[in-house]
Structure 1
Amino acid sequence: MGANGSGTIVSAEGIEQKLVDIRRHLHQYPELSHEEFETTAYIRRRLEEEEIRIATQFDLKTGLIAEVGGLHGGPVIALRADIDALPIQEETGLPYASKTPGNMHACGHDFHTAAILGAAFLLKEKEHELLGTIRFVFQPAEEKAAGARKVLQSGALDGVRAIYGMHNKPDLPVGTIGIRSGPLMAAADGFLVELEGIGSHAAVPEASVDPIVAAAQLVTALQSIVSRNVSPLESAVISVTRLNSGTAWNVIPETAVLDGTVRTFDEKVRNRVVERFGEVVNGVAAAYGTKASLRWIQGPPPVNNDGELADAARRTAERLGISVVTPKPSPAGEDFAFYQKQIPGFFAFMGTSGPKEWHHPAFDIDERALPISASFFAELAIAELERFATEP
């Protein structure tokens, strides 16, 4: 029996082409983080066509909040979709490829948006039966890890019992959903280290304090943090992705700059890595006579799924005949995690049978996943409202 008490299952089969059309429109007109003005306007039009109310009390520069239900009071839950694109030149060759040179929906946020719009359309049809309110969060700037914090600052999650979201997963087949309790995606932090030495002619290195030698040692020393300060049963990654120094072949420069990223799945591990990172930077710098400055760029915390919400999602997927798998945690970051620091949250991996991974110029999704995703989130919302409305 379906969660809405009628024995029926919510199905998006009848609106599949509508969702495909929405996704392809969004795909053709990608907008970067904080620039999603036309995307926001398009989402608003599609919602208003279905007479879905826009929650204008929540002030967002880009992105928007909409609502369905609440006709009989009851709890409030939220469904979230991110809407921004990436500065990548598309190489898919699709007839609906990006019309904006240098911009592309290479992470599938067009898919997320179309699917959650589909859930909104389905839930609007059942509005009079809903035991509470579903708030739809069309969030900007996920790629900059800034949009979730803007939504929280707007008050859009005040009084919300739980929030649900997803990311497409190219390596999972269509018809499959990845559901995991606990850590699913990593905390994604960044760093920038500047080492200051004394420059000189390269032929007289004794007159210098060479920041390049210090930087080379630092790249190696930083790896000892993971190998000697993180348990083999836990996980962390430190990657130095840029090292810049010098302007000429015969000059020892005054400075060297390194930056990169740190990924962790546990807050205790994260804090330990941050602590040791500073100690290693300062120790190596002192050993080589340089001065170090460290800027830590704190990104989103780990995506950490609430166990009860994950169980509810699993029940919904099984009811709809969606194959449930337990996915490996991803070292990628997601600012959905900021919501989970405030209220219970659940984040799924939706199978999309993609040819390439996220952020690849030939990234694409199998559009057959659109109605599956829309139906899943609509059915899950109905079930969760019923659960929250009837629990003691």
Structure 2
Amino acid sequence: MTAIHVSKESRFQQKLVAIRRHLHQYPELSHEEFETTAFIRSTLKAADIRIVSEFKLETGLIAEVGGLHGGPTLALRADIDALPIQEETGLSFASKHGGKMHACGHDFHTAALIGAALLLKEREHELAGSVRLVFQPAEEKAAGANKVIKTGALEGVKAIYGMHNKPDLPVGTIGIRSGPLMAAADGFLVELEGIGSHAAVPEASVDPVVAAAYLVTALQSIVSRSVSPLESAVVSVTRLHTGTAWNIIPEKAILDGTVRTFDNDVRTRVKQRFGDIVTGVAAAFGAQASFRWLQGPPPVHNDAALAEAAAKVAERIGLEVMAPKPSPAGEDFAFYQQQIPGFFAFIGTSGPHEWHHPAFDIDERALSVSALFFAELAVDELKRFAAER
């Protein structure tokens, strides 16, 4: 399969590059995307793309193309927020906002969706239905998708489609798979309460440091002994905070971290075992334990029929289709998939670094590739859904 050819000189490509670079220079964090929203709105209005005002969002917006002849509605989604990272790319269009950066490529996602909207607008009269364009805030906080859902923006929508850039895939490649693609991303916070003492008199204490050390080790048995080798899970303790001085046994230890799973049954099982182990280890050392389970987004799980349709479109326009390994990263696109059928793809961007790296960047040739793919997918899927009515 020959990868799609992208001209850096095309007017369309240059327009998308300009949009992406503007967004990259002015990143905004989750729930703060006011100027980003205003820029998206003005760009869409300049192309005579209608903003759907009844779906009210404080940041982010919903727009629509098509619907001139009735028909079904589907949705395309991009996330718009940035990360609290100091940029180290050295790009001429690097972030002008200190400590904030589009280090996950949401500027790319937004520009590509604007590009798809522009292509669809050119073909509006031939669309067999409506394409709802979801510019979603606060993905990095796993809060934006639920905000969109609460507006009613998914009501009457047949299916929703989204994507994430993939730095380790070359431009012209798309990762498509049915079933699990990204993980449920949960967190935890454990507090172990003991009795403090002088470090030279440990028998007078209930030492939370020792209990915490055993707990970190014991939690690893969840994956090795409660999850089948044919299944997948990650339990990572990422912070252990305790003590104030070298000669004092403290009263409290705090641990937190993350749990990643790809299956809802495994997710439930891991949570149960986690609670059992925390309670048991604390009791074994005479400590008191409390923990909070921080529920994140569920797994991104692609509808098989949508994945098949996407693969056909990708092949037709010259993309190289491959089956990617599931990613243990989380994505709140999964909340949409709990409401309606959904499909999420990995778009190759030939990036030099992984997501959330301070020198993260993308190959901008992927902009028009992504825009074309999602525009063609929307056209085809509207025809398919219209024929099924």
Shorter chain as denominator, the TM-score bin is over 0.9
How many correspondences in the alignment? 382
Answering whether residue 307 of structure 2 is matched by residue 310 of structure 1, we say yes
1:312-355, CA deviations, whole angstroms, 9 ceiling, x for partnerless residues?
Answer: 00000001000001000000000000000110000000000000
Answering whether residue 259 of structure 2 is matched by residue 262 of structure 1, we say yes
Letter in 2 for 1:385: L
Distance 1:259 1:81 in 2: 30
Q: Which residue of 2 aligns with 1:297?
A: 294
1:31-73, CA deviations, whole angstroms, 9 ceiling, x for partnerless residues?
Answer: 0000000000000000000000000000101000000011111
TM-score by length of 1: 0.97
Q: Which residue of 1 aligns with 2:198?
A: 201
Distance 1:322 1:307 in 2: 19
Answering whether residue 60 of structure 2 is matched by residue 63 of structure 1, we say yes
Aligned alpha-carbon RMSD (Å): 1.0
Deviation at 1:391, TM superposition (A): 1.6
TM-score by length of 2: 0.97
Q: Which residue of 1 aligns with 2:178?
A: 181
Q: Which residue of 2 aligns with 1:134?
A: 131
Q: Which residue of 1 aligns with 2:225?
A: 228
Q: Which residue of 2 aligns with 1:249?
A: 246
Q: Which residue of 2 aligns with 1:5?
A: none
Letter in 1 for 2:353: K
Deviation at 1:275, TM superposition (A): 0.5
Deviation at 1:14, TM superposition (A): 4.2
Distance 1:92 1:329 in 2: 28
Letter in 2 for 1:114: A
In the TM superposition, 1:41-56 aligns within 5 A as 41-56=38-53
Q: Which residue of 2 aligns with 1:239?
A: 236
Structure 1 residue aligned with 2:357, among 357, 360, 365?
Answer: 360
Distance 2:88 2:187 in 1: 29
Deviation at 1:382, TM superposition (A): 0.2
Answering whether residue 152 of structure 2 is matched by residue 155 of structure 1, we say yes
Deviation at 1:193, TM superposition (A): 0.1
1:241-281, CA deviations, whole angstroms, 9 ceiling, x for partnerless residues?
Answer: 00000111111000000000000000000000000000000
Q: Which residue of 2 aligns with 1:278?
A: 275
Q: Secondary structure at the match of 1:104?
A: coil
Letter in 2 for 1:340: Q
1:260-313, CA deviations, whole angstroms, 9 ceiling, x for partnerless residues?
Answer: 000000000000000000000000000000000010000000000000000000
Distance 1:14 1:132 in 2: 28
Q: Which residue of 2 aligns with 1:4?
A: none
Distance 1:254 1:273 in 2: 28
Distance 1:61 1:278 in 2: 37
Q: Which residue of 1 aligns with 2:31?
A: 34
Q: Which residue of 1 aligns with 2:20?
A: 23
Q: Which residue of 2 aligns with 1:288?
A: 285
Answering whether residue 221 of structure 2 is matched by residue 217 of structure 1, we say no
Q: Which residue of 1 aligns with 2:4?
A: none
1:161-185, CA deviations, whole angstroms, 9 ceiling, x for partnerless residues?
Answer: 0000000000000000000100000
Distance 1:157 1:291 in 2: 45
Distance 2:95 2:12 in 1: 24
Distance 1:14 1:165 in 2: 25
Q: Secondary structure at the match of 2:189?
A: strand
Answering whether residue 82 of structure 2 is matched by residue 91 of structure 1, we say no
Q: Which residue of 2 aligns with 1:8?
A: none
1:85-105, CA deviations, whole angstroms, 9 ceiling, x for partnerless residues?
Answer: 000000000000000000000
Q: Which residue of 2 aligns with 1:370?
A: 367
1:77-121, CA deviations, whole angstroms, 9 ceiling, x for partnerless residues?
Answer: 000000000000000000000000000000000000000000000
1:196-239, CA deviations, whole angstroms, 9 ceiling, x for partnerless residues?
Answer: 00001111000000000000000000000110000000000000
Letter in 1 for 2:16: L
Q: Secondary structure at the match of 2:377?
A: helix
Structure 1 residue aligned with 2:331, among 331, 334, 338?
Answer: 334
Q: Secondary structure at the match of 1:161?
A: strand
Distance 2:368 2:247 in 1: 62
Letter in 2 for 1:53: R
Letter in 1 for 2:140: E
Distance 2:348 2:95 in 1: 23
Distance 1:226 1:286 in 2: 22
Q: Which residue of 2 aligns with 1:3?
A: none
Distance 1:76 1:14 in 2: 29
Distance 1:263 1:38 in 2: 33
Of all paired residues, the percent bearing the same amino acid is 78
In the TM superposition, 1:102-113 aligns within 5 A as 102-113=99-110
Q: Which residue of 2 aligns with 1:73?
A: 70
Letter in 2 for 1:216: A
Letter in 1 for 2:230: L
Distance 1:199 1:61 in 2: 48
